[in-house]
Amino acid sequence: MDLTFEGSFAESRDKTLFNDQMIQHLFELHEEFESSRQDLLKQREETQLNYDKGGYPHYLLNHPAKHENWQVAAIPEDCRVRRVEITGPVSSAKMVINMLNPNQEGIAADMAMLDFEDSMKPTWENVLSGLHNVVGAIQGDLTFEQVSSNGSVKKYALNPKGPRAHVMVRVRGLHMVESHAHVKNSPISAGVFDAYMVAALTAKIQLSRGETPMFYIPKMEHFKEAAWWNSLFAAIERKLNLSSSSLRVTALIETLPASYQVEEMLYELRERALGFNGGRWDKIFSDIKTLRMHENRIMADRSYIDMTRSWMDNYAKNIIKICHKHGAYALGGMSAFTPGKDEATRIEQIKKVEADKAREAQIGHDGCWVSHPFFIKMARDQFKEENQLHRLLENFLDQPDLLPQSDGPKTIEGLRKNIRVGIAYQKGWNEGLGCVAFDNMMEDLATLEISRAQTWQWLHFKVTLDDGTQVTKELVKKIFAEECEKIISEFNGQEKDQWIEAKTMAEETFLMDRLNNFFGDIQQRKAQ
């Protein structure tokens, strides 16, 4: 066995997360799954080259999913009500507690997705804190103390008597590595690390109480990747002596290629799938990234691309139709609004969330995501039934058009919003955060990815905006300088140096000649 940890254990409690058997299992899983993971990543690259040469994603015809009569495994009792799910970084004990507990109205979300992925910067400290927080959430003894500048202490703890949200854990995607754990000088898959460690630390506790260990899988692009994940969870079950398919999963359909293979992916996961979620923000990023070299598919301002656009509406309904056909749940995407700091903003934000969730319920979703406890009740109120599996959308097209359209505004204001997000997110990232509250939105990695990809594409094709302005590097640099000044002024000059540093780093990322696949890859190379 040759698994080593490159990161230090800052606290003695961190060492208690691992024992010799767990380290042995991680080594064995790496040996079993790393080669096939690399093959899948190579297939992604080859497929993207085809798209860059003018190809498009397309539906498949000959997979068994299309020709067999099948249903997903029965949904366990504790997974049947998913009207509202709340999400946030697993590394923050305070946020985990607030996600699990009832909000100020005494209402808890049905599910809390504790996230190792887009809302968490994957530092070693954050990863280890996340594991501790998952254990504390499952055991029910998670606490946190916040010390204010005047020395007063505010204590947070899980509600001992309930109600509490059920725990779900989103692991990191196929493309990510855990750079602090190596086998023979090669980092192990972050998804393997997260899935195994969470299961090893908590699954038997949950199963002994009659609860279901639930995971979220992100960023898939092909049904072969779904098969890989299914095999991984099966291998983890064998190593932990768990019954087959006791680890259940929900997958995010959040890439353009995956949206053409929903049925095939569900088929590969059918023995453990609970449902699919339409990850709208990453989907928009994927639309841009996948068709980045297609000049006829240059997308409009990010604020214009909502779920009423024809291809986004088709994408959502396609997920619902396929999931319900096979007995799986279909969840709507994230409303990333924050409540705001004044009454007028709060009223406006409530209207936006209610409208978004009402539409999701109306077209047939079984539930939705919110990013803040404040919105739990108003989101849940839009979903009148425990689920809508009876909504089969039989009159909806079998193979709808999912390709993004290029109509809509392309404005200087849209470019400014992208750049503001870039600066704000980079500052949060520099401070160890993976999500930041900014401009009354909870911005995680997905919105940053949209912003940098769209800016890159507009630059690459020298897009002429609606007012006649051409997008150039000089224009982007000018807007970066202007928006940084505005932000510093809005924050009354506080942390000026940090904002300037973030602006410099974000500008460098946005102006790269090549569109890198993921922001995290860029940051990892910079850190080396």
Q: What is the pLDDT of residue 522?
A: 72
User: What are the pLDDT digits (tens) for 315-345?
Assistant: 999 999 999 999 999 999 998 899 988 899 9
Q: What is the pLDDT of residue 255?
A: 98
Check whether 422 has a pLDDT greater than 60: yes
Q: Measure Cα distances from 519 to 83, 173, 413, 486 in Å.
A: 32, 13, 23, 24
User: What are the pLDDT digits (tens) for 198-212?
Assistant: 999 999 999 999 999
Q: How confident is the model at residue 10 (pLDDT cuts 50, 70, 90)?
A: low
Q: What is the pLDDT of residue 486?
A: 98
Q: How confident is the model at residue 440 (pLDDT cuts 50, 70, 90)?
A: confident
Residue listed under structure tokens 């799954």? 33
Q: Which of 3-7, 149-153, 231-235 has the highest mean pLDDT?
A: 231-235
Domain range summary for the chain, segments of one domain joined by +: 35-66+83-119+161-173+206-380, 412-527
Q: What is the pLDDT of residue 526?
A: 60
- In this structure, which long-range contacts are made by residues 95-99, counting pairs with CB atoms below 8 Å and at least 24 apart in sequence? 96/133, 96/136, 96/137, 96/142, 97/142, 97/143, 97/144, 97/156, 97/157, 97/158, 98/156, 98/373, 99/165, 99/373
Check whether 528 has a pLDDT greater than 70: no
Check whether 287 has a pLDDT greater than 60: yes
Secondary structure (DSSP) of 484-501: HHHHHHHTTTTTHHHHHH
Helix (H, G, I), strand (E, B) or coil at 309: coil
Helix (H) or strand (E) run with residue 89 in it: strand 84-89
Token pair listed for 509: 């990322």
- Marked catalytic residue, from 170, 172, 292, 391: 170
- Marked catalytic residue, from 115, 359, 444, 452: 444
What distance in Å separates the CA atoms of residue 376 and residue 370, rounded to the nearest whole number?
Answer: 7
- Strands, sheet with 177-183, edge to edge from the N-terminal-most edge strand: 3-5, 177-183, 186-189
User: What are the pLDDT digits (tens) for 474-494?
Assistant: 999 999 999 999 999 999 999
pTM score > 0.85 for this model?
yes
What angle, 0 to 180 degrees and rounded to 10, lies between the N-to-C axes of helices 124-139 and 190-208? 10
Check whether 6 has a pLDDT greater than 90: no
> How many CB atoms lie under 10 A from the CB of residue 415?
25
Q: Is there a catalytic annotation at residue 444?
A: yes
Q: How confident is the model at residue 525 (pLDDT cuts 50, 70, 90)?
A: low
Helix (H, G, I), strand (E, B) or coil at 420: helix
Q: Are 308 and 270 in contact (CB under 8 A)?
A: no
User: What are the pLDDT digits (tens) for 400-413?
Assistant: 999 999 999 999 99
Residue of 441, 437, 435, 491 lying closest to 114 (CA atoms)? 435
User: What are the pLDDT digits (tens) for 111-129?
Assistant: 999 999 999 999 999 999 9
- The listed CATH number (3.20.20.360, 3.40.47.10, 3.40.640.10, 3.90.209.20) that belongs to domain 35-66+83-119+161-173+206-380: 3.20.20.360
Helix (H) or strand (E) run with residue 369 in it: strand 367-370
Residue listed under structure tokens 């940084």? 484
User: What are the pLDDT digits (tens) for 214-262?
Assistant: 999 999 999 999 999 999 999 999 999 999 999 999 999 999 999 999 9
Residue of 175, 218, 324 lying closest to 263 (CA atoms)? 324
Bridge partners, 470 (sequence order) = 464
Q: Are 463 and 359 in contact (CB under 8 A)?
A: no
Burial call 137-162: b when 16+ CB within 10 Å, e when fewer: bbeeebebeeeeeeeeeeebebeeee
439: left (phi over 0), alpha (psi -120 to 50) or beta: left
What distance in Å separates the CA atoms of residue 422 and residue 504, rounded to the nearest whole number?
Answer: 10
Q: What is the pLDDT of residue 170?
A: 99
- Provide the mean pLDDT of the chain: 95
E strands of 105-218, at which residues?
111-115, 143-147, 153-157, 166-170, 177-183, 186-189, 214-217
Check whether 12 has a pLDDT greater than 80: no
Share of the chain above pLDDT 90, in %: 88
Check whether 527 has a pLDDT greater than 60: no
Helix (H, G, I), strand (E, B) or coil at 514: coil
User: What are the pLDDT digits (tens) for 80-90?
Assistant: 999 999 999 99
CATH architecture designation of domain 412-527: Up-down Bundle (1.20)
Q: What is the pLDDT of residue 68?
A: 83
What distance in Å separates the CA atoms of residue 128 and residue 137, rounded to the nearest whole number?
Answer: 14
User: What are the pLDDT digits (tens) for 158-181?
Assistant: 998 879 999 999 999 999 999 999
